[in-house]
Amino acid sequence: MLEHLNFFNKVITELLAIDVNIDEKDKILILLSSLSQSYNHVTTMLYGNKTLILEEVMLTLLSNELKKMSN
């Protein structure tokens, strides 16, 4: 997951470098859409929150990955 998030951040940074601005919500949707099928349960993060923050989504993904690895 860390590798995936690093690649995602790299792409976003490269887009910003060429003046392509992506809304926070769109970044989150792109990130969640880019995950493999094994992460299809992640969409539950979208419910119950009025506002999602990209950093919180990334931390949740990493936290879930650590939990999976420890089981």
pLDDT at residue 11, rounded to an integer: 96
In terms of DSSP H, where are the helices of 1-71? 2-17, 24-33, 54-70
3-state secondary structure of 51: coil
Give 16-59 pLDDT, tens digit per residue: 999 999 999 999 989 988 988 877 665 566 566 677 889 988 99
Prediction pTM value: 0.77
The one-letter amino acid code at 60 reads T
Task: Indicate the number of domains in the chain.
Answer: 1
pLDDT band at 5 (very low <50, low <70, confident <90, very high): very high
Cα–Cα dist 46/66, whole Å: 20
Q: Are 32 and 47 in contact (CB under 8 A)?
A: no
> 63 is in which domain, residue-wise?
2-70
